[in-house]
Amino acid sequence: MIRYALTRLTLLLLGLFVASALIFLTLRVLPGDVALLIGGVNSSPEQIAAIRESMGLNRSLPVQYLEWIGGVLRGDLGTSLLTGSSVAAEIAQKAEVTIPLGLMSLAIAITLSVPLGVISALRRGRAGGTALSVSAQTLAAVPVVWAGMMLVVVFAVWLGWLPAQGFPRAGWNDPAAALRALVLPALTIGVVEGAMLMRFVRSATLQAIGQDYVRAAAAKGLTRTTALVRHGLPNVGLSVISVLGLQVAGIIVGAVVIEQLFSLPGIGRMLVADVGARDLPKVQGELLVLTGFVLIVGFVVDLVHRVIDPRQREAS
């Protein structure tokens, strides 16, 4: 187990390193730079060159990369070219919106998908099961933006129950308002991600129903449902855990879109704005943190999976 964990950790660190290099290089492909945006078009080419110089944009790529990654290793994500503020501090501030949004989305996705997935598997072939299954297929295919707009139209515009956009200026000092602001965005991501997860739960459940130990339990006198709940569902749970890493990535992508749509001051919206402004040190820091987060979740999921699934432990 320890050997497995160490191997997995090495892979994680390697993944982070490769990701950092890829992030750095791919951003350099973008044309234009922040010096042009700051200088504006009244500035002469000499002035733009001076701004570039003062920002260190004219140094060679390896030097810039080493400087950045050296800072990251010391726990310094760098400073914004535009505002001069600390990237880490900015991310921490925006995380106040994005992390609760992600957790709420995940909670909604799980709450919807697990019971509905199991029910739709048990009712397979019957009208209710088919209806659930078709709904899941449809919802999973819906673009997040469209789902968000529909929810806004219904709950914010028609019913006026929830805010259509924005986050309270007081932030979490006003918890009720902050929560209300996150309900529709989280529901949007949660429903779409939940629909995808539900299809997975359904197929995992169907697989479990067909397993010998479930059939054996049923043969011993349990109803099919009880047999499934007692003996099959733990296995379904394991399968669900293993796709959670993917779900987290999906939720982050969803957050980038949804924060834009709902004008939420989170990491996703900041990322979009910073790419547009070519504030590359900030974009690098943001992407590295997001990538790192997904990789770490994957790492934790793998370890947890191994700890709770006896078959995997024996196999190693």
Residues that bind another protein (CB under 8 A): 30-33, 36-47, 50-51, 82-85, 90, 94, 149, 152, 156-157, 160, 163-167, 169, 260-263, 265-266, 269-270, 273, 275-279
- SS3 (DSSP) at 86: strand
Which string of DSSP letters, residue by residue, matches 197-249?
Answer: HHHHHHHHHHHHHTSHHHHHHHHTT--HHHHIIIIIHHHHHHHHHHHHHHHHH
The enclosing H or E element of 157 equals none
Long-range contacts of 19-22 (CB under 8 A, 24+ apart): 19/288, 19/291, 19/292, 19/295, 20/69, 20/72, 20/284, 20/288, 21/65
Q: How far is the CB of 274 from another protein (least distance, A)?
A: 9
User: Least distance in Å: CB of 253 to another protein?
Assistant: 18
By the 10 Å C-beta count (0-12 exposed, 13-18 middle, 19+ buried), 276 is classed as: exposed
Q: Residue 181: which of 145, 158, 154, 152 has the closest Cα?
A: 152
By C-beta, is 239 or 260 nearer to another protein?
A: 260
Kindly state the smallest distance separating residue 96's Cβ from another protein, in Å.
11
Q: Which is nearer to another protein, 75 or 84 (CB)?
A: 84
**Cα dist. 22→19, 25, 27, 210 in Å?**
5, 5, 8, 44
Pairwise CA distance, residues 73 & 209, whole Å: 49
Q: Which residues pair with 79 in a beta bridge?
A: 86
End-to-end CA distance of the chain: 8
Contact 221, 169 (CB under 8 A): no
Q: How far is the CB of 195 from another protein (least distance, A)?
A: 24
Instruction: Give CA–CA dist 248/193, Å, rounded.
Output: 9
Tell me the closest approach of the beta carbon of residue 143 to another protein, in angstroms.
Answer: 14
**Pick 152 or 228: Cβ nearer another protein:** 152
Structure tokens at 125: 């072939």
By C-beta, is 111 or 165 nearer to another protein? 165
Closer of 181 and 233 to another protein (Cβ): 181
Taking the least distance from each CB to another protein, the nearer of 286 and 309 is 286
With respect to another protein, which residue has the nearer C-beta, 245 or 285?
285
Task: For another protein, give the closer residue by CB, 193 or 286.
Answer: 286
Minimum Å distance from CB 146 to another protein? 12
What's the min distance (Å) between Cβ of 242 and another protein? 35
Residue 276 CB, shortest distance to another protein, in Å, is: 6
